[in-house]
């Protein structure tokens, strides 16, 4: 079959899927906007459906998103894996020279025996946790819950259980709101604004942890270090920062550091495939805190293009924006060492400094194959 014809057929199937998904919108007026116009909300897709000038949109903002297929959902019986279950928010690596598809969702490890092989080692878009001691309909975790939990935990924020005071829908704070505690929330269930009793960040995962009795535990620093050369792994390498697990049922402590995958051939994972306290690639040492911070920064759409390498014009030091400055772009940053002015490679005035970006660019130049573009803004915008 002609390849162009095949592409057109695939495009037609994709458009049909989108159209079927679009037709499921259930758009209702939910109140007034600040400018006096009507605000519309899709109750089916839990998304804004207000068009320009306060008109009702034909479809909501989430109507174009691909539907979640049965193979994207895992029903996980915790009683079947006494060796331990672990779930993390999965995001693309901060450095990737493989040709593998990008990972986004909930990464699952499950073992029958403690210390045994992983029976499950895969990423899903949804996970439903079941078991004898859990609610009959299970505990559902979504991909957006997982990724924004990762972002908040990297930046040191605790989440809490927040429910809409109008409809009772469990609330998830996304993007900017996932790292800024607040009382006034926009419910995704009914589209109305409500106020919580205290200032905080909502994520349904907190309720799941409390029901299971598996609240986050502080991880321990990984014991091993790693030094490798990119040319020894022609299939490419991938690098992530560690982040606290959503669910961790193993008795062993979780490791903190830099997680590395290395491939001898395309798609053929070889050692190393674990977390290290220190990683050196082609003689370049990576800072675990910078790696972890960049991974979270790349997952926040409102920070796209604003995280850059900033250099002091006076002392020449590279600036690493830490704590609140790591997720708050501001104008006129100054060097934390000498107080001098900082300059970067972009015209954007509000920026955040992370020297790791320049480090990864150097590694890319010495790589035997070009890395994939760093992934940013992969999550849907908050309505």
In a domain, 35, yes or no: yes
pLDDT at 253 over 50: yes
Are 50 and 166 part of one and the same domain?
no
Q: Which residue has the higher pLDDT, 199 or 16?
A: 199
Q: Mean of the pLDDT values across residues 64-79?
A: 91
pLDDT digits 0-9 by tens, 164-189: 999 999 999 999 999 999 999 999 99
Are 50 and 140 part of one and the same domain?
no
Q: Lowest-confidence range among 140-154, 234-248, 261-275, 335-349?
A: 261-275
Q: Which residue has the higher pLDDT, 99 or 180?
A: 180
Q: Mean of the pLDDT values across residues 15-19?
A: 37
Are 175 and 113 part of one and the same domain?
yes
Return the percentage of the chain with pLDDT > 70, whole number: 90
Q: What token pair was written down for 358?
A: 């320049």
Report pLDDT for 375. 40
Return the percentage of the chain with pLDDT > 90, whole number: 74
Report pLDDT for 237. 93
pLDDT at 3 over 50: no
pLDDT at 118 over 50: yes
pLDDT at 11 over 50: no
pLDDT at 340 over 90: yes
Pairing of strands 268-276, 258-265: antiparallel
Are 108 and 33 part of one and the same domain?
no
In a domain, 294, yes or no: no
Report pLDDT for 373. 56
107: CB partners within 8 A, 6+ apart: 87, 88, 89, 90, 122, 123
In a domain, 132, yes or no: yes
CA quadruple 343, 346, 347, 348: dihedral, nearest 10: -90
Distance CA 250, CA 252 (A): 5
Are 170 and 88 part of one and the same domain?
yes
Where among 212, 237, 264 does a domain terminate? 212
In a domain, 83, yes or no: yes
Report pLDDT for 102. 83
Are 139 and 179 part of one and the same domain?
yes
Q: Mean of the pLDDT values across residues 6-15?
A: 37
Q: What token pair was written down for 299?
A: 């997952």
pLDDT at 22 over 70: no
In a domain, 228, yes or no: no
Q: Which domain holds residue 46?
A: 23-65
Mean of per-residue pLDDT scores for the chain: 88
Report pLDDT for 23. 53
Are 81 and 154 part of one and the same domain?
yes
Q: Lowest-confidence range among 251-260, 261-270, 360-369?
A: 261-270
Candidates 162, 159, 163, 197; CA nearest to 180 is: 159
In a domain, 217, yes or no: no
pLDDT digits 0-9 by tens, 208-228: 999 999 998 899 999 999 999
Report pLDDT for 372. 64
Q: Which residue has the higher pLDDT, 132 or 158?
A: 158
Query: Could you tell me if 209 and 216 are in contact, meaning their C-beta atoms sit under 8 angstroms apart?
Result: yes
Q: Mean of the pLDDT values across residues 61-90?
A: 93
pLDDT at 201 over 60: yes
pLDDT at 9 over 80: no
In a domain, 257, yes or no: no
Place of tokens 């045994």: 116
Q: Mean of the pLDDT values across residues 352-381?
A: 74
Count the domains in the chain: 2
In a domain, 37, yes or no: yes
Are 61 and 76 part of one and the same domain?
no
Where among 212, 231, 253 does a domain terminate? 212
Are 46 and 125 part of one and the same domain?
no
Where among 212, 242, 270 does a domain terminate? 212
Q: Lowest-confidence range among 51-60, 263-272, 288-297, 298-307?
A: 263-272
């Amino acid at each position: 079959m002609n390849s162009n014809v095949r592409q057109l057929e695939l495009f037609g199937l994709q458009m049909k899927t989108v159209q079927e998904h679009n037709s499921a919108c259930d758009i209702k007026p939910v109140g007034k906007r600040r400018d006096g116009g009507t605000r519309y909300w899709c109750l089916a897709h839990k998304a804004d459906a207000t068009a320009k000038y306060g008109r009702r949109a034909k479809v909501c903002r989430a109507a174009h998103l691909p539907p979640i297929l049965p193979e994207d959902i895992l029903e996980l019986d915790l009683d079947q894996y006494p060796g331990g279950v672990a779930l993390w928010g999965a995001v693309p690596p901060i450095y990737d020279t493989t040709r593998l598809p990008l990972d986004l969702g909930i990464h699952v490890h499950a073992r029958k025996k403690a210390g045994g092989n992983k029976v499950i080692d895969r990423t899903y878009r949804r996970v439903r946790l079941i078991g004898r001691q859990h609610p009959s309909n299970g505990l559902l975790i979504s991909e957006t819950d997982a990724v924004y939990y990762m972002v908040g935990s990297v930046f040191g924020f605790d989440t809490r259980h927040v429910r809409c005071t109008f409809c009772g829908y469990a609330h998830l704070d996304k993007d900017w709101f996932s790292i800024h505690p607040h009382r006034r929330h926009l419910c995704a269930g009914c589209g109305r604004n409500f106020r919580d009793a205290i200032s905080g960040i909502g994520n349904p995962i907190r309720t799941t942890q409390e029901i299971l009795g598996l609240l986050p535990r502080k991880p321990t620093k990984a014991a091993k270090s790693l030094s490798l050369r990119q040319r020894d792994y022609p299939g490419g390498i991938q690098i992530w920062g560690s982040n606290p697990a959503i669910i961790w049922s193993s008795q062993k402590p979780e490791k903190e550091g830099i997680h590395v995958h290395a491939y001898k051939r395309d798609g053929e994972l070889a050692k190393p495939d674990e977390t290290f306290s220190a990683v050196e690639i082609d003689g370049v040492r990576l800072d675990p805190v910078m790696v972890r911070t960049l991974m979270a920064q790349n997952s926040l759409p409102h920070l796209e293009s604003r995280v850059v390498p900033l250099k002091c014009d006076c002392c020449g030091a590279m600036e690493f924006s830490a704590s609140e400055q790591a997720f708050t772009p501001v104008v006129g940053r100054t060097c934390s060492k000498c107080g001098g002015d900082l300059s970067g490679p972009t015209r954007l005035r509000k920026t955040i400094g992370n020297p790791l970006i320049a480090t990864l660019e150097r590694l890319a130049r010495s790589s035997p194959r070009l890395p994939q573009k760093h992934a940013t803004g992969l999550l849907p915008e908050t309505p």
